[in-house]
Structure 1
Amino acid sequence: MQLCWLRADLRTADNHALWHARQRGPVVAVFIVTPNDWHAHDDAAIKVDFWRRNLIELAATLNHRNIPLQLLHAGHWNECPSRLLELARDLGASGLHFNDEYGLHEQQRDDAVSRAFSEAGISCQRYTDQLLFAPGSLTTQSGTMYKVYSQFRRQAYHRLHQHLPAELPPPNSQEPLARASSSIPDHFDGFAPPTPELQQLWPAGEAAASERLQRFSNQLLADYADDRDKPDLDATSRLSAYLAAGVLSPRQCLHAALRMNQGEFDGGNPGAVSWINELLWREFYKHILVCYPRVSRHRAFRPETEAVQWRNDPEGLAAWQQGQTGIPLVDAAMRQLLNTGWMHNRLRMVSAMFLTKNLLIDWREGERWFMQHLIDGDLAANNGGWQWSASTGTDAAPYFRVFNPVSQSEKFDPDGSFIRRWVPELAHLPARQIHLPPTGDLFSGGNYPAPIVDLRSSRQRAIDAFRSAGEPA
């Protein structure tokens, strides 16, 4: 008997731990419910509910193969070793299999589980599954982890050309076991489920993820390079939640892109190349998380930027959180997040720069708010994106580069369609006014607030703050 511990890998296809466990004999899958830790890590209720719904779909898929899925409960991740050992002994399991997770606490937990099973004389096998490459396996000539994405990408392309990781099939069916699958509750403690309408935006299960991937590949990928920055279009993959929960693997996504590009990484379809680039950004930030663990401790990747004097502005923070800043594109983005659990990637950068540069509020406040609301919340990607925008991270935007949200709006939402959808107070305005409504005119802005900050002077304030912290001119 083999035990397969599932976490952010809620699928049967191309699941290294599940496939290898089944190769060794009959399998029982297990998932540990740890609500206290999810709260501590700011996981959004919509994200936890997405896990729950995917567990229901996964249990059904596994049952077709006679593989039961057991739910265990733990008050804290440090209870995972004892919970898993107890189940392994109850089953008479000779081995435990799981795919590595990344982040300081996750790695400590996984190491503790490995030690406990080794001391108990039970085999424990770990696999690289969330990523194309194990963290630390792509290094500079001096043996250190890359700090610049373009150099990391070049090495990743070189390795992928040498060896393209294959997709593993789902595990074979097995003879029925006496143990049945656990029932999945209608919610996890402390995480109220979202509305059915919101759940329908994010259908659960491998079939839904595969269908979304196929639609993106067949209908949207060709124009992805040109359309990906336009928030008024349905032009992105919307697959980030499925990748974060492990309902899709990065290998499945990579192969889908390559199939649409005749197997090429460069040239051919610009959309496919651009999307592969996004998959590698995701990879890069996971490697950064492991190789530079200070970013797991709420520290800046660039230590010198810890000297920046961020402003304490509770009212400004609240206005940003609720989409009431008086800057239409920022407000539309924040309302999209609140209403869907997701935000367009271009707008994540725009709204993050507005908070950290125009309002000069600590990037950690924004990072936390995003994690508390995103269905695709991922520590590495979220932290990497926020530190990039705040000019504190790897490959960071220079501190004097500050996206002007009005210019961004005029460029990427020229007729104001996206703004009209999420800021209906401005729906009546013509395109020439909607990006920054005139103030003091009741017929123009209605009950929409005036801007809470002047974009030009606040940009200069941010530049001065970084210079005062010792940034070179």
Structure 2
Amino acid sequence: MPPHKRKQSDAAMDDLSGTPKRGKLDSDRFHPNAHQVEEFGIVMRDFYPPEMSNERCESYNNGILERPIETLQKACEETMETRNSIKTNKAVVHWFKSDLRLHDNRALQRAYQVARDNNIPIIGLYILSPEDLTAHLLSAPRVDMTLRTLELLKRNLDEIDIPLYMETQYERKPIPKRVVDLCRRWGANHIFANLEYEVDELRREAKLVRLCAQNGINFEVVHDTCVVPPGLLTNQQGNQYAVYSPWYRAWVEFLKANPDYLEPVDEIGANPGDPRKHLKDLFDYMVPEPPKNKRLSDEDRERFRTLYPAGEYEALRRLEQFLEEKAQDYGQKRSMVAGEHTSILSPYFAIGALSARTAVAMARRANRNQLDRGEPGYRSWISEIAWRDFYKHVLVHWPFIW
């Protein structure tokens, strides 16, 4: 997405309790009804300020305030020359976040290519942040699913001699500095990660791009979560779609014209270099324990493990079974309470054990290579996967909606 230039604001911001000057936006004022969410207890005030005012929202729309994606783009552009001059060292790092899989993982594939081309090992990194789990209201079952999938991911990586270093960082603000410290400890001058489009994560990545560049490290973020990256679909006026139906038609036409966006990337192979010798200690790290406020009872733990077995291979198995047995009738039966007519894949999408790209590509193949034609059931399910893209496109363009 091309960067939007930030306009210079000539508005003098008054004190929050004061009155904005006539004709000028007072974008620092909170929304007048912000206290309501505190009364009902639906927002974690430990992590988030009161809701922004309509004037501040308008400042994003008018380009007075930078969107988080623009902050990241600006950081990447302003550090590009420095980052491009950085040479590889002893290792390459892939930072796993919401992409807990080997199959069809673009940032992981990019990291592997750099490692292979320079005959140096790749190191997997995962950081558990209890503050993030609490701030984002992630449920105990989701945390349990994440940690169980990490266990299988570690095992799968171990089979191809790739270590997965895991740790818990109780406070989230120091995470960028911790990532830099780990890269320096391992002699890694290149680190890759897939983009997360939420507001906090985009701002964190912008900070990390600059911090890494200052320390001689090239941090590259890769579009992977969405089938079509945010910013590529605009209406006739060149603006972000606000309504799903026209956006979906544009999404379908874009993929017809650019079928390579549905091509999954190759799964990585054996780790280059001699990781068992040079990175021996990194193979011994265990999956972190869940925070106390995210732990399941023994009974619930067994129940969710039965309902949702962990791992990317289980996700792919369920996807194949759904497309073969249920998808054709999905449009008619998806709302029926009696019976299991849905894919039951949402938990796997949420933690990144399955990519939306893989799901749409396989559904299209089952539907005789059609996205918006063919069997109604396939079409309906593809459109629901597309909705995940639409939400992230909207969030990136209007960050105050989240």
Q: How well do the aligned residues superpose, as a CA RMSD in angstroms?
A: 1.3
Q: What's 1:154 paired with?
A: 249
C-alpha distance in structure 2 between counterparts of 1:259 and 1:237, whole Å: 17
Counterpart mapping for 1:379-394 below 5 A = none
The counterpart of 2:310, out of the listed 197, 204, 212, is: 204
The counterpart of 1:136, out of the listed 231, 246, 253, is: 231
C-alpha distance in structure 2 between counterparts of 1:75 and 1:267, whole Å: 49
Q: What's 1:169 paired with?
A: 266
C-alpha distance in structure 2 between counterparts of 1:224 and 1:126, whole Å: 36
Counterpart mapping for 1:208-223 below 5 A = 208-223=314-329
Contact persistence 2:128–2:288 (CA under 8 A): no
Between 1:20-29 and 1:184-193, the stretch displaced more is 184-193
Q: What's 1:23 paired with?
A: 113
Give the percent of matched residue pairs that are identical in Structure 1 and Structure 2.
33
> Which residue type is aligned with residue 285 of structure 2?
S
Q: Which has the higher contact order (CA 8 A, sep 6+)?
A: 2
3-state SS, counterpart of residue 29 of structure 1: strand
C-alpha distance in structure 1 between counterparts of 2:100 and 2:134, whole Å: 20
- Return 5+ residue gaps in structure 1 as ranges: 297-473
Counterpart mapping for 1:52-451 below 5 A = 52-164=147-259, 165=261, 166-174=263-271, 175-177=274-276, 178=279, 179-193=282-296, 194-296=300-402
> Which residue type is aligned with residue 183 of structure 1?
M
C-alpha distance in structure 2 between counterparts of 1:142 and 1:120, whole Å: 42
The counterpart of 1:2, out of the listed 58, 72, 92, is: 92
C-alpha distance in structure 1 between counterparts of 2:289 and 2:131, whole Å: 18
C-alpha distance in structure 2 between counterparts of 1:221 and 1:241, whole Å: 18
3-state SS, counterpart of residue 372 of structure 2: coil
> Which residue type is aligned with residue 381 of structure 2?
W
Q: What's 1:391 paired with?
A: none
> Which residue type is aligned with residue 39 of structure 1?
T
- Return 5+ residue gaps in structure 2 as ranges: 1-90, 116-120
Alignment of 1:14 with 2:14, yes or no, is no
Q: How far 1:78 sits from its partner (Å)?
A: 1.8
- The C-alpha deviation readout for 1:113-142, integer Å capped at 9, x for no partner, is 111111112111111111012212211122
3-state SS, counterpart of residue 125 of structure 1: strand
C-alpha distance in structure 1 between counterparts of 2:284 and 2:378, whole Å: 40
C-alpha distance in structure 2 between counterparts of 1:77 and 1:145, whole Å: 31
Q: How far 1:148 sits from its partner (Å)?
A: 0.6
> Which residue type is aligned with residue 127 of structure 1?
V
Tell me which stretches of 4 or more aligned residues in structure 1 moved more than 3 Å.
185-189
Contact persistence 1:114–1:124 (CA under 8 A): yes
Contact persistence 1:59–1:181 (CA under 8 A): no
3-state SS, counterpart of residue 107 of structure 1: helix
Q: Could you say if the C-alpha distance between residues 91 and 41 of structure 1 is closer, same or farther in structure 2, counting changes exceeding 3 Å?
A: same
Contact persistence 1:220–1:235 (CA under 8 A): yes
> Which residue type is aligned with residue 214 of structure 2?
E
Q: How far 1:158 sits from its partner (Å)?
A: 1.1
Contact persistence 1:35–1:189 (CA under 8 A): no
> Which residue type is aligned with residue 243 of structure 1?
F
C-alpha distance in structure 2 between counterparts of 1:100 and 1:150, whole Å: 25
- The C-alpha deviation readout for 1:327-361, integer Å capped at 9, x for no partner, is xxxxxxxxxxxxxxxxxxxxxxxxxxxxxxxxxxx
> Which residue type is aligned with residue 140 of structure 1?
N
Counterpart mapping for 1:29-48 below 5 A = 29-48=124-143
- The C-alpha deviation readout for 1:203-260, integer Å capped at 9, x for no partner, is 0011111111111011011111111111212000111110111000011101110111
Q: How far 1:186 sits from its partner (Å)?
A: 4.8
3-state SS, counterpart of residue 267 of structure 2: coil
* TM-score for the superposition, normalised by structure 2: 0.72
Q: How far 1:266 sits from its partner (Å)?
A: 2.4
